[in-house]
Structure 1
């Protein structure tokens, strides 16, 4: 629920668990938030401070469990530091690449009585790319014949998705989406051509392999979108690459020759809001062809039988309102979207 709250509202999700099995069950949610760049703060109850290193009931190493799949792990030993550490954790969850943060709460610390002042939330400014970065982007488009834009990652806002879509439409750019990122562009847009990753069509694989300029906005062009880099090798490919990521240490960005712009998605999108082509683009027909091929691929074949999921989902597509939210038992099922 905390993960869903964060994705829907754009705010930081919060949840609390007990030590032992509660913390163990939270691992799936934390790993999902880490992979999908979702800001979460988890509070975990811990054993009393005086009982550490004695194998007390459900004692475990908080950092050992969560240190490799979160942005930070904190344990509050002194109650007067609660405002400071909680404020820091919420800021860390939201800045740069969003993600989960864990705060440990020793049982006896929660009963301490202290005088503590509330603190203001740590506020950060939007990360906007400089003019040099935008000039590099425009240079790549000026030399491109077969560009491809791939949207992915987290930290998006509704306004940012609209600004990126309008920019792509002004430039007649073909736009694909990364795995689990179906909602980053309106599928009725003339720029939208389909999704990469699990369940992708051969049309999409060819579009990526044949592109001479690939622009990943939020997507580091990692393993799923590139079929474990088979479609876009780390070394030895001919395409010019540009990735826009919120952190310089984005682990999925494996292409050393890629131009990397460090910016959050709202900041980057705002920088593109007023850009327009300086001359007629040369890839408009290709974009329209990819769009038409993608639309044909999305037409469900009649599988026959008593229950045809293709027909069911086609009916849902026609019947549900535009703002309907679908939930899935596993990420792979999102291919039905």
Structure 2
């Protein structure tokens, strides 16, 4: 039986067990939307295409499944670009469909034509312009395979309207055969044995765990490794939630706004075990002075990341979960009490702290949220000071409980990502922690939140300014604050009510202690506008170009 390529697209998504699609229709995507009319897939209508890709991203991070989104051609497609780059930087598996002008018009500067495959080459793992309708099922099968294997990432499929309308004999491929694409999953046994030997010889090891632990589902192996070799664990921002935040071996996040004790421990260690991390500049700061006394073991599925920024003594290319499963039997329970005593001394000497006077402190809001959720909520953040305070003061207990933009640092990510996360994990408490700057970038997705009746709780840390930019100007521009103060804000609670969402404003510690348990128990979405101290800085902070153990303190 013949069906249109648009109908085949929907059948393919059903074969891939796609549950939800985030999208915004337009003229050149009408055939696909018509095919979706009878589909067994939920479609979520966002209010801006950027919201669609961020929602798919949040869904993927919270569930571990592929996020799917779609838009029309031209401006619809280009509105996806920031979100695609965001997913690419953080290795999030997405499949993105864009409409395109008919093939006869491609290259003619037709109405709403844009070369979206050309635009997204640097920010997708792979992309396709479909020219032959019969190829579409194979392309979709390949796209899901590429997005989820090796180092995950976004794949884009651009579908011209005439191709979508062409009738084909539908058959969904059962296998993928991609010549030249063969990710390495098993680490080299000799390198694993070499790593085991280095671990046995070390006296002061530190485990440096990144987002690869979460992508590969290696959190149990990470915990077992840390407890077996008595090694403290520090996380990158993307690695947070891969190791229990209340575990005595946990050092918190390292780097630019990491804990002082994590940064000193990495500086003093004699062995750094890097697992699924890429030595980003915000974690390592000054590459040639990072872990200066340590031998380095680096495990990553992407060979391009190994040795890219930091010298590596034992490189292991492979899936971190499988590598750890091979490594753990080679190790023995080790007592490193002297090193752990030093770690405890550092924690006691350099705890995270802040001054409680001069207004409502944002750190206190996050500590209160942690106290009432005990680390069991899914925390979604935007980007800015609030993101760093979450990383510092919220102790995550289980993987995939932090949804945040890391590599690209995308303001406006939070609200649509929270929509996607809540749809992906409907039985879990999802909390969005945002800033007044980030929140206004995608504020229209409050309509999506309400339309879907999602019980996301939003805590906006409102300081009437672009806090992180102001902080940078404070330290590096001698306090010359330029274009960071909001002279006008909308009445956020009135605005929330206009969307049918309940809202509260708090500005004292007592009000926060009262409102948090109340809001968490209420049904439906709620916005809490927290009027926080406007001059608060995120500390500790590593000055630009300095070692990570050289920090500004509170």
User: Contact 2:209/2:235 (CA < 8 Å) preserved in 1?
Assistant: yes
CA contact (8 A) 1:19 1:46 kept: yes
In structure 2, how many angstroms separate the alpha carbons of the residues matched to 1:252 and 1:319? 42
Are the structure 2 counterparts of residues 71 and 131 from structure 1 closer, same or farther at C-alpha, using a change threshold of 3 Å? same
Any conservation in 2 of the 1:92–1:101 contact (CA below 8 Å)?
yes
Cα drift, residue 329 of structure 1: 1.6
**Alignment partner of 2:355 out of 302, 305, 325:** 302
The 8 Å contact of residues 288 and 310 in structure 2, kept in 1 or not, is answered as no
Return the index of the structure with the highest Cα Rg.
2
State the partner residue of 2:320.
Answer: 265
Residues in 2 aligned to 1:179 and 1:134: alpha-carbon distance in whole angstroms: 26
Count residues with an aligned counterpart: 332
Equivalence for 2:140: 86
Provide the residue aligned with 2:59 in structure 1. 5
Give the conservation status (yes or no) of the 8 Å contact 1:300–1:314.
Answer: no
Equivalent positions of 1:1-337 (< 5 A) are 1-120=55-174, 122=176, 127-154=185-212, 156=214, 160-229=218-287, 231-232=289-290, 237-250=292-305, 253-277=308-332, 280-281=334-335, 283-291=336-344, 293-294=346-347, 297-330=350-383, 333-337=386-390
- Residues 72 and 295 of structure 1: CA distance in aligned 2, closer, same or farther (over 3 Å): farther
Deviations 1:114-154 (A, max 9, x none): 11311125499992324323211111112212221100033
Which 5+ residue runs of structure 1 have no aligned equivalent? none
Deviation at residue 51 of structure 1 after TM alignment = 0.5
Give the stretch that moved more between structures: 219-228 or 125-134.
125-134
Asked if the contact 2:275–2:298 (Cα under 8 Å) also holds between the matched residues in 1, the reply is: yes
Conserved? CA contact 1:38–1:155, under 8 Å: no
Structure 1 length normalisation: TM-score? 0.89
* Deviation (angstroms), 1:5: 1.3
1:165–1:185 contact (8 Å) kept in structure 2:
yes
* Partners of 1:176 and 1:196 within 8 A in 2: yes
Provide Cα deviations, 1:200-249, integer angstroms capped at 9, x if missing partner.
1333222222222111100122322101525428xxx4421111111212
1:16, CA displacement in angstroms?
0.5
CA-based RMSD of the aligned residues comes to 2.5
Q: What are the superposed Cα offsets for residues 153-179 of structure 1, whole Å, 9 maximum, x if unpaired?
A: 336268520221122112110110012
Q: CA deviation at 1:288?
A: 4.3
Following superposition, the deviation at residue 110 of structure 1 comes to: 0.6
Quick one: distance in 2 between partners of 1:238 and 1:293? Answer: 18
Distance 1:228 1:252, change over 3 A: farther
Rounded to whole Å, the distance in 2 between the matches of 1:137 and 1:180 is: 24
* Unmatched tracts of structure 2, length 5 or more: 1-54, 391-554
Aligned mates of 2:345, 2:219 — CA distance in 1: 22
Q: 1:81 to 1:292 in 2, by over 3 A?
A: farther
